[in-house]
């Protein structure tokens, strides 16, 4: 399919990889780890060509190419690469772009794995960092240094659903010679395309919404040809290689991403609206609500608020656990973005954190995080309202 056609996302998830298919309507799984060449010249070409998917699986694989083509098109990027996990994606991204002496800005509220990457691994390699309030674009400007090279953004954030003004932060970064990479896992490119707002790179834990069925671990990074090639060369060293079968599963999940996100968006909003009216719910965190402090920003940079929300029940941890235990449809599990509704208590998941650390992170003992699935909204809302009964 020609790249200059103006198709909707629901069409691109089906056809964006047409050029990398071999005629199969349902693509085959290329499980081979190495590929034979017909001549010395062909072997040399495959061995030295960027993003080669016909040489060795660490360099690429036809299934990798197909997935990357779809995500790149959805994000409006020139190129994408896939990795074995979301942490493989952001770690490879950071190691590919940073060196000793560089400085990184990261949000105070971000995925714990990203925080550990910055605070532990990168710090060991001589990269300094500063954590800022993501809701205050001015905080990013004040924290910039001459040696700042990268700003890591997660919007919406997990589990508080705070937003970062991508356009404002990107302008600040570029004025200071830094790049912006956005974790778009929660929104997905159906709801938000950070490159359109000035960001340089996007990454995903494709384990979540992109895969969508809790059966594959994967990561993706998308951006310009030059930046992705730089990251790809680091990927050859890091070796966070996505299994070809998992790439095939991810592609299968992507085919329904547009449809699933429409249901996730609708269910997230329906549940949030029901919870905000409940007398035993003290707070609801969801950018799709007009009461959300950054609802205006959500309307500017998002097309939908996705299916993740958090709420606090009256009482304490025992009251939240009682609600979780009474849910019939929601599964108590980690992760998010599945066709199944998943609910958990963040404070219990991060039990190694101290009370002061949880308080500073605004994670209360009675907070419940919900990743709405694609069940019927009426059944889902009824399940939560029933669980909240005295």
CATH assignment of the domain containing 287: 3.90.1150.10
Q: Tens digit of pLDDT for each residue in 16-72?
A: 999 887 778 889 999 999 999 999 999 999 999 999 999 999 999 999 999 999 999
If asked whether residues 94 and 205 sit together in one domain, one would say: yes
Would 244 be classed as within a structural domain?
yes
For the chain, the domain total comes to 2
Extract the tokens encoding 41.
């010249």
Q: Which of 209, 226, 254 is the last residue of a domain?
A: 254
Where in the sequence is the domain holding 48, given as residue range(s)? 9-254
Q: Which of 46-50, 284-288, 355-359, 362-366 has the lowest mean pLDDT?
A: 355-359
204 in a structural domain: yes
Is 187 within a domain? yes
Predicted local distance difference test score (pLDDT) of residue 355 = 64
Q: CB of 194 within 8 A of CB of 342?
A: no
Determine how many CB atoms are found less than 10 A away from the CB of residue 332.
Answer: 13
Neighbouring C-beta atoms of residue 10, cutoff 10 Å: 15
- What amino acid positions are annotated as catalytic residues? 58, 111, 183, 208
Name which of 268, 254, 163, 270 is nearest 209 in CA terms: 254
Picking from 225, 254, 283, the residue at the C-terminal end of a domain is 254
Instruction: Round to whole Å and give the CA distance between 224 and 222.
Output: 7
Check residue 19 and give its pLDDT: 86
Contact in structure between 311 and 274 (CB atoms under 8 Å): no
Residue with tokens 């730089």: 230
Is residue 1 a part of any domain in this protein? no
Select from 310, 311, 369 the least CA-distant residue to 335: 369
- 99 with 27, same domain: the answer is yes
DSSP structure class, residue 122: I
Q: What is the mean pLDDT of residues 245-268?
A: 98
- Of the listed ranges 19-23, 146-150, 177-181, 221-225, the least confidently predicted one is 19-23
Q: Are residues 44 and 13 in the same domain?
A: yes
Clarify whether residues 88 and 172 are in a common domain: yes
Can you give the pTM of this predicted structure? 0.96
Verify that 308 and 220 share a domain, yes or no.
no
Residue-wise pLDDT tens digits, 274-304: 999 999 999 999 999 999 999 999 999 999 9
């Amino acid at each position: 399919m020609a790249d200059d056609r103006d198709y909707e996302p629901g069409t691109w998830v089906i056809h964006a990889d047409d050029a990398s298919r071999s005629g199969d309507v349902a693509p085959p799984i290329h499980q081979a780890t190495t590929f034979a060449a017909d001549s010395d010249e062909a072997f040399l070409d495959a061995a030295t060509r960027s993003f080669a998917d016909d040489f060795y699986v660490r360099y690429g694989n036809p299934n990798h190419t197909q997935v990357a083509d779809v995500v790149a098109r959805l994000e409006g990027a020139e190129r994408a690469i896939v990795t074995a996990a979301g942490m493989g994606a952001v770690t490879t991204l950071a190691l590919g772009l940073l060196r000793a002496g560089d400085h990184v800005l990261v949000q105070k509220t971000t995925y714990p794995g990203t925080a550990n990457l910055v605070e532990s691994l990168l710090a060991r390699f001589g990269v300094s960092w500063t954590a800022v309030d993501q809701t205050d674009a001015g905080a990013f400007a004040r924290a910039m240094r001459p040696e700042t090279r990268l700003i890591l953004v997660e919007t919406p954030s997990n589990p508080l659903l705070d937003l970062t003004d991508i356009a404002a932060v990107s302008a600040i970064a570029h004025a200071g010679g830094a790049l912006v990479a956005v974790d778009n896992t929660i929104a997905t490119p159906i709801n938000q395309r950070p490159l359109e707002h000035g960001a340089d790179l996007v990454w995903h834990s494709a384990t979540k919404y992109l895969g969508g069925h809790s059966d594959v671990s994967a990561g993706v990074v998308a951006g310009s040809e030059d930046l992705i090639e730089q990251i790809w060369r680091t990927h050859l060293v890091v070796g966070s290689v996505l299994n070809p079968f998992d790439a095939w599963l991810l592609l299968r999940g992507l085919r329904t991403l547009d449809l699933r996100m429409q249901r996730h968006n609708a269910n997230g909003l329906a549940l949030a609206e029901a919870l905000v009216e409940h007398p035993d719910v003290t707070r609801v965190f969801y950018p799709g609500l007009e009461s959300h402090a950054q609802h205006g920003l959500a309307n500017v940079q998002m097309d939908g608020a996705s299916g993740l929300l958090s709420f606090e029940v009256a009482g304490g941890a025992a009251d939240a656990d009682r609600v979780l235990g009474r849910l019939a449809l929601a599964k108590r599990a980690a992760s998010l973005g599945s066709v199944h509704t998943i609910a958990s208590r963040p404070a219990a998941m991060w039990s190694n954190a101290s009370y002061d650390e949880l308080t500073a992170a605004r994670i209360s003992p009675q907070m419940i995080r919900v990743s709405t699935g694609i069940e019927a909204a009426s059944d889902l809302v009824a399940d939560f309202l029933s669980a909240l009964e005295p």
